[in-house]
Structure 1
Amino acid sequence: MAQVVVGRIVRPHGLRGELVVEVRTDDPEARFQPGVEYATRGGPLKGAPLKAVTVRWHQGRPMIGFEGVPGRTEAETLRGVLLSLDIDEDELVADEDEFHDALLIDLAVVDLEGAHIGTVSRIDHGAAHETLVVKRKGQSPALIPFVADMIREVDAEAGTITVDLPPGLLDL
């Protein structure tokens, strides 16, 4: 089993504590159901789980009512919280050019000559592309766009991501 981020709480909706969730999974209908308990990261919960009581869909996003979140005031504090589930590793196998976050985290990032740059600590999801956040020893994290022009190979078995970066990218 691997813990996989399936959504991020975006904002409250209405006065009854419902929350709009940004989908970060390939199977949202299965992942967002009443009764599902999510592990959390970020916000005031300090890792405490959230259990979905109600789920309804609006404009392609789930609006979820969680146990213990009775109103808008409580819901407001949950903005940005990441929701995770334990997923069977067999389900994480994606298309050849797609990679689940859980498979990329902790991989070593190396340049074309094999020199170690750092280790993937998380993946940030943006409107245009994903960004690898790479932890580097004694330096600030590197932000590497996860785009075909820069990512040459992802070798999960070897535990590496080979990159071809433009000059100066790591100096930012």
Structure 2
Amino acid sequence: MKQYITVGRIISPWGVRGQVKVEPLTDDIERFKNLKEVFYEQENCLEKLVIKEVIFLKKAFVVLKFEGVDDAKEAEKFRNKYIMVHRKDAVKLPEGRYFICDIIGLKVYTVDDEYLGEIINVIQTGANDVYVIKNKENKEILIPAIKEVVKNIDIEKGIMFIFPMEGLI
């Protein structure tokens, strides 16, 4: 499992006081209210940014003010950077729910132990997620993330078992 979970992407500077506009990459935009710090990757290292202020823009974007970043020129260096939180600071998920970053990379088997491939993407459709599996022939298989199909997920072992309904594969 990844130690750090991506929660947003900095789009651009916002205003003249060093704030940045962030595209949230989380189901719950309100989670930003409780964040004290985030991390971003800089030359293969994670750097910490302390959050001083949070502003919500029409529930679609977040504006963050970081400690020590005081003008638009300084804020510009964060453009297109992804911001992350440590797993211990991530939102606690209900039983049976998983972070997308933990689903991607799982090896998928049928309940009859036939290997299907590896999850390479998760499509969020609104009704239910769809897991994109790349098989050994390099073709994609789309699996709905519903309890009738997904029978077991073991994040620790990196595997998922599914019951492929007729016509699914």
Task: Give the TM-score of the pair, scaled to structure 1.
Answer: 0.62
Provide the residue aligned with 1:84 in structure 2. Answer: 84
Deviation at 1:139, TM superposition (A): 0.6
Provide the residue aligned with 1:20 in structure 2. Answer: 22
Given that residues 107 and 159 in structure 1 are in contact (C-alpha distance below 8 angstroms), is that contact kept between their aligned partners in structure 2? yes
Secondary structure of the 1:9 match is strand
Provide the residue aligned with 1:39 in structure 2. Answer: 40
For residues 111 and 92 of structure 1, do their structure 2 counterparts lie closer, same or farther at Cα, with a shift above 3 Å needed?
A: farther
Given that residues 13 and 76 in structure 2 are in contact (C-alpha distance below 8 angstroms), is that contact kept between their aligned partners in structure 1? no
Q: Which one has a bigger Cα radius of gyration?
A: 2
Letter in 2 for 1:19: K
For residues 125 and 65 of structure 1, do their structure 2 counterparts lie closer, same or farther at Cα, with a shift above 3 Å needed?
A: farther
Q: Deviations over 1:38-76 (max 9, x none)?
A: 235xxxx786656355431314553224559826x9489
**How large is the RMSD of aligned CA atoms in angstroms?**
4.2
**Mapping 1:39-118, distance limit 5 Å:** 39-40=40-41, 49=46, 51=49, 53-58=51-56, 59-60=58-59, 62-65=62-65, 67=69, 70=72, 74=76, 78=80, 82-88=82-88, 94-118=93-117
Aligned-partner Cα distance in 2 for 1:65–1:13: 10
Given that residues 32 and 62 in structure 1 are in contact (C-alpha distance below 8 angstroms), is that contact kept between their aligned partners in structure 2? no
Deviation at 1:168, TM superposition (A): 5.0
Given that residues 2 and 88 in structure 1 are in contact (C-alpha distance below 8 angstroms), is that contact kept between their aligned partners in structure 2? no
Secondary structure of the 1:139 match is coil
Identity %: 14
Given that residues 151 and 163 in structure 1 are in contact (C-alpha distance below 8 angstroms), is that contact kept between their aligned partners in structure 2? yes
Matched positions, count = 161
List runs of 5+ in structure 2 lacking aligned partners.
none
Letter in 1 for 2:117: G
Aligned-partner Cα distance in 2 for 1:138–1:69: 51
